[in-house]
């Protein structure tokens, strides 16, 4: 096999709690993540040597700043593969939007190269490599539903209720996650609730649990970008049973019970100056 094409899904954070600043400069977090049927498409093609990357999105870097590029370089070097690869990314997931597109691309690259070069690497080994590239990368190596802790690399797959639809609204601006974390004021006195993952397959328990949790980065981003709060209010007033920012934003999602209602809201909001996606959870990565 000389070429392989695979899908790379987006994710949302159903909640994101920032617990403390770590000695290594990262932040200790607890977050519940859900993969979505919104995909980039990656094509990996063997080459004689080195790593090359192209993308159909002008805002996507094609050099060492790209996480897929980093993933390929790391795996080929660590596993002493004596060939190279060219990666082409067909983007649909917005860039720097809190939807994990770059991390997902990196994880897909690791999995794809493992298959393309028939390396036989375990998920644990891919996890070790992925954690060196980015905190969200390990999530995309497992199931489409997981609780992530540490700096995001400690993954606990869980089973979640997923019979709902999401309207994603992404303003045409970028928010760097590093900026959001640096500007967060962490409350050392706030008491954190414990999440019981064993009951989250039930719709009522799932929604009840989400109502108790939030995204700690949302307030930081909304102070600089008021559109985040405005979009949350629009989605809530349109009938969303929950609205929240994903990751470090600026994407805001609304969770809807029924597809027709979600479709109507997506169509209406598509007339605004932002990107809108109608999507739903997936049970596992493809």
| Secondary structure in 3-state letters for the chain | CCEEEEEEEEEEEEEEEEEEECCCCCEEEEEEEEEEEEEEEEEEEEECCCEEEEECCCCCCCCCCCHHHHHHHHHHHHCCCCCEEEEEEECCCCCCCCCCHHHHHHHHHHHHHHHHCCCCCCHHHHHHHHHHHCCCCHHHHCECEEEEEECCCEEEECCCCCCCEEEEEEECCCCCHHHHHHCCCCCCCCCCCCCCHHHCCCHHHHHHHHCCCCECHHHHHHHHCCHHHHHHHHHHHCCCCEEEECCCCCCEEEEECCHHHHHHHHHHHCCCCEEEEEECECCECC
**For the whole model, what pTM was predicted?**
0.94
Placement of tokens 């997923």 in the chain: 162
Give yes or no for residue 178 having a pLDDT over 90.
no
* 11 in catalytic set: yes
| From 11, 91, 111, 232, active-site residue | 11
pLDDT of residue 67: 98
pLDDT for 122-163, tens place per residue? Answer: 999 999 999 999 999 999 998 799 999 999 989 999 999 999
Q: Which fold, 3-157?
A: Ribosomal Protein S5; domain 2 (3.30.230)
| From 40, 91, 136, 232, active-site residue | 136
Give yes or no for residue 189 having a pLDDT over 70.
no
- Answer yes or no: CATH 3.30.70.890 is held by domain 165-279: yes
Q: Quick one: residue 150, left, alpha or beta (phi over 0 = left, psi -120 to 50 = alpha)? A: left
Placement of tokens 């909001």 in the chain: 269
Which neighbouring-strand residues pair with 47? Answer: 84
Using CA atoms, how far residue 273 sits from 144, 243, 265, 270, in Å, is: 30, 19, 15, 8
Q: From CA 172, how far away is CA 246, in angstroms rounded?
A: 15
pLDDT for 235-269, tens place per residue? Answer: 999 999 999 999 999 999 999 999 999 999 999 99
* 136 in catalytic set: yes
Give yes or no for residue 13 having a pLDDT over 90.
yes
Residue ranges per structural domain of the chain: 3-157, 165-279
């Amino acid at each position: 096999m000389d070429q392989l094409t695979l899908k790379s899904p987006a994710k949302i954070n159903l909640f994101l709690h920032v617990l403390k600043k770590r000695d290594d400069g990262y932040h200790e977090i607890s977050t519940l993540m859900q993969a979505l049927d919104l995909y980039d498409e990656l094509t990996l093609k063997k080459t004689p040597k080195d790593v090359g990357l192209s993308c159909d999105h002008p805002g996507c870097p094609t050099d060492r700043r790209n996480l897929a590029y980093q993933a390929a370089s790391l795996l080929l070097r660590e596993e002493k593969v004596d060939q190279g690869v060219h990666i082409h990314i067909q983007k649909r997931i917005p860039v720097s939007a809190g939807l994990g597109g770059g991390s997902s691309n990196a994880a897909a690259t690791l999995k794809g190269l493992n298959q393309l070069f028939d390396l036989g690497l375990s998920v644990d080994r891919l996890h070790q490599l992925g954690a060196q590239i980015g905190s969200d990368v390990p999530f995309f190596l497992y199931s489409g539903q997981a609780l992530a802790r540490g700096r995001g690399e400690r993954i606990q797959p869980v089973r979640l209720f997923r019979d709902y639809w999401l309207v994603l609204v992404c303003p045409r601006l970028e928010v760097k996650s590093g900026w959001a974390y640096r500007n967060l004021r962490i409350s050392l006195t706030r008491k954190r609730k414990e999440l019981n993952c064993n009951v989250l397959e039930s719709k009522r328990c799932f929604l009840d649990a989400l109502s108790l949790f939030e995204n700690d980065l949302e307030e930081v981003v909304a102070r600089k970008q008021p559109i985040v709060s405005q979009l949350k209010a629009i989605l809530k007033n349109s009938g969303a049973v929950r609205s929240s920012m994903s990751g470090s934003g600026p994407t805001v999602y609304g969770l809807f019970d029924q597809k027709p209602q979600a479709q109507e809201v997506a169509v209406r909001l598509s007339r605004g100056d932002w990107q809108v996606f109608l999507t739903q959870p997936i049970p596992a990565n493809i």
